């Protein structure tokens, strides 16, 4: 079985755990456990064929070269696909229960490798009826919002394994993963057709639909990404570097109709190699990422003007709201980079329950208590821009704009056509070219009125800054806020899974 994994470039369970935790720090729980099948097989057979009942779990240190003390401690668990296809047995449920309880008691992050086929029907010892009274799912779900939870997958992940994966704060999956709430046997048993495992929940489906946060090449990259993700929750780092901030002055074209890549802004503004983007192929009009400023972890929420000019649709709003909720639960400050013409509108997008989804962004951001810094890069129009700043430009610790910023209660073109409809129609009736000239003249007038410098004179924003000063503004604003209070309990009941 191990050799078969080698052929498909997968590692063993213990190799993955060893790569995740620092050398010599892992303390395993229940290594001598065997599958509860003594009515079917001898103990000797079970020792040989079902070591650890298919689940290796314990406590170890992660990123010990960067952090000290309790911050390093992590619960690490992995289903073992070489043991009964990584299925969930009675004893490995009990091991999970034990470690989940310790994670909650000691406030330890959890990393769970989820490869496996779900519930195991072959266990015989001490079995009751349905097995629906097992505690594992309850205890794991209760960890949401209490400790960071990371799910890593490579290969097949079905049924109960997938249910646990879906409870995690972040899902990291190798490109060869297949993830589904039911595997082939369950689908066929339900009369829903016959499918091969690879037809169920491939990454071509689960990445763009938002189930998977980060797609990686293999388990090696998955573990590296998991370590980086955990580091944001472990705290600040002492060593950091950043790009020449003067480069930010030339990222946004002078022509307001020309496009630019906001990811370039993010990479330049934050510490070098500190950015970790989540769900890049879902809700593509919104970018959510962890990063660092002078070593301090922050969450970044940015409009992507390359998609619908940065307009916010249902997926974008959900993506941003859920990320804000995640950051707020663990007191990670949020930086928003605003460039949006507003919320997306139209009959088609209303079919996606747009009103409710967009309003989720208001409710989530307005009730977050972590410091927020908002920087307007270009367009700052209507309800969309308010949603990006916790429902009002006065909610963040500071709201500033680059000189390229432009403001308005709605998009300039729509504002002019709505507010000056009569004048434009009269001019058009007289001469179509005259009507178009009037329209352009009014748009230009509104653009001049809504420029960042003019908006700042009305104190709708706090300042207009040199783009090269963005890092300093963020750092000083965060330094002005008090540290979060120590907590015995969760800040919020849970983090939405979606």
**Which CATH fold topology does 2-233 show?**
2-enoyl-CoA Hydratase; Chain A, domain 1 (3.90.226)
Nearest to 207 by CA among 265, 153, 262, 147: 153
Bridge partners of 29, per DSSP, are 57
Rounded to whole angstroms, how far apart are CA atoms 497 and 39?
A: 39
DSSP 22: P
Q: Residues 143, 104: contact at Cβ < 8 Å?
A: yes
**pTM for this model (two decimals):** 0.94
The domain ranges of the chain are 2-233, 242-405+451-479
Rounded to whole angstroms, how far apart are CA atoms 354 and 283?
A: 13
Alpha carbon 359 to its chain centroid, in Å, reads 19
Q: Print pLDDT tens along the chain (498 aa).
A: 677 777 677 899 999 999 999 999 999 999 999 988 888 898 998 999 999 999 999 999 999 999 999 999 999 999 999 998 899 988 899 999 999 999 999 999 999 999 999 888 878 776 666 778 889 999 999 999 999 999 999 999 999 999 999 999 999 999 999 999 999 999 999 999 999 999 999 999 999 999 999 999 999 999 999 999 999 999 999 999 999 999 999 999 989 889 999 999 999 999 999 999 999 999 999 999 999 999 999 999 999 999 999 999 999 999 999 999 999 999 999 999 999 999 999 999 999 999 999 999 999 999 999 999 999 999 999 999 999 999 999 999 999 999 999 999 877 777 777 888 888 888 888 888 888 888 888 888 888 888 999 999 999 999 999 999 999 999 999 999 999 998 889 999 999 998
242-405+451-479 maps to which CATH number? 3.90.226.10
Q: Do domains 2-233 and 242-405+451-479 have the same CATH topology?
A: yes
Bridge partners of 276, per DSSP, are 290
Rounded to whole angstroms, how far apart are CA atoms 464 and 283?
A: 29
Rounded to whole angstroms, how far apart are CA atoms 277 and 333?
A: 16
């Amino acid at each position: 079985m191990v050799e078969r994994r080698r052929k498909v470039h997968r590692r063993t369970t213990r190799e993955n755990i060893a790569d995740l935790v620092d050398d010599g720090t892992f303390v395993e729980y229940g290594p001598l456990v065997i599958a509860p099948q003594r009515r079917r097989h001898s103990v000797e057979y079970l020792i040989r064929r079902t070591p650890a009942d298919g689940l290796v779990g314990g406590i170890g240190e992660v990123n010990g070269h960067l952090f000290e003390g309790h911050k390093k401690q992590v619960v690490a668990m992995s289903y073992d696909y070489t043991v009964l296809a990584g299925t969930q047995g009675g004893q490995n449920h009990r091991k999970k229960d034990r470690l989940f309880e310790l994670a909650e008691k000691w406030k330890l992050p959890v990393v769970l490798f989820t490869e496996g086929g779900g519930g195991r029907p072959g266990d015989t010892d001490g079995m009751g009826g349905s097995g629906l009274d097992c505690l594992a799912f309850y205890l794991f779900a209760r960890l949401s919002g209490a400790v960071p939870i990371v799910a890593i997958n490579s290969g097949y992940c079905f049924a109960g394994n997938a249910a646990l994966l879906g409870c995690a704060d972040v899902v990291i999956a190798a490109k060869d993963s297949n993830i589904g709430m039911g595997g082939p046997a369950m689908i066929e048993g339900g009369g829903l057709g016959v499918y091969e495992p690879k037809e169920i929940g491939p990454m071509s489906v689960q990445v763009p639909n938002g189930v998977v946060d980060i797609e990686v090449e293999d388990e090696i990259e998955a573990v590296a990404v998991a370590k980086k993700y955990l580091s944001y929750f472990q705290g600040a780092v002492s060593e950091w570097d950043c790009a020449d901030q003067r480069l930010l002055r030339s990222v946004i074209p002078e022509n307001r109709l020309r496009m630019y890549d906001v990811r370039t802004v993010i990479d330049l503004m934050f510490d070098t190699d500190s950015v970790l983007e989540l769900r890049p192929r879902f809700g593509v009009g919104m970018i959510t990422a962890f990063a660092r400023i002078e070593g301090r972890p922050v969450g970044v929420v940015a409009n992507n003007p390359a998609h619908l000019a940065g307009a916010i649709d249902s997926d974008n709003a959900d993506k941003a709201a859920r990320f804000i909720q995640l950051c707020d639960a663990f007191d990670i400050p949020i930086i928003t980079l605003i460039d949006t013409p507003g919320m997306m509108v139209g009959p088609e997008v209303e079919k996606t329950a747009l009103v409710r989804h967009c309003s989720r962004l208001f409710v989530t951001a307005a009730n977050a208590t972590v410091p927020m810094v908002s920087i307007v890069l270009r367009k700052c129009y209507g309800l969309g821009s308010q949603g990006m700043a916790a429902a009002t430009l006065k909610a963040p610790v500071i709201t500033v704009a680059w000189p390229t910023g432009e403001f308005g209660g709605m998009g300039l073109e729509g504002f002019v056509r709505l507010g000056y409809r009569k004048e434009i129609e009269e001019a058009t009736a007289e001469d179509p070219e005259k009507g178009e000239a009037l329209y352009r003249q009014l748009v230009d007038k509104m653009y001049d009125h809504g420029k960042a410098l003019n908006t700042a004179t009305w104190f709708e924003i706090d300042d207009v800054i040199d783009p090269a000063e963005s890092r300093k503004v963020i750092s000083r604003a965060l330094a002005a806020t008090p540290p979060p209070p120590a907590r015995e309990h969760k800040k919020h009941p849970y983090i939405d899974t979606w």
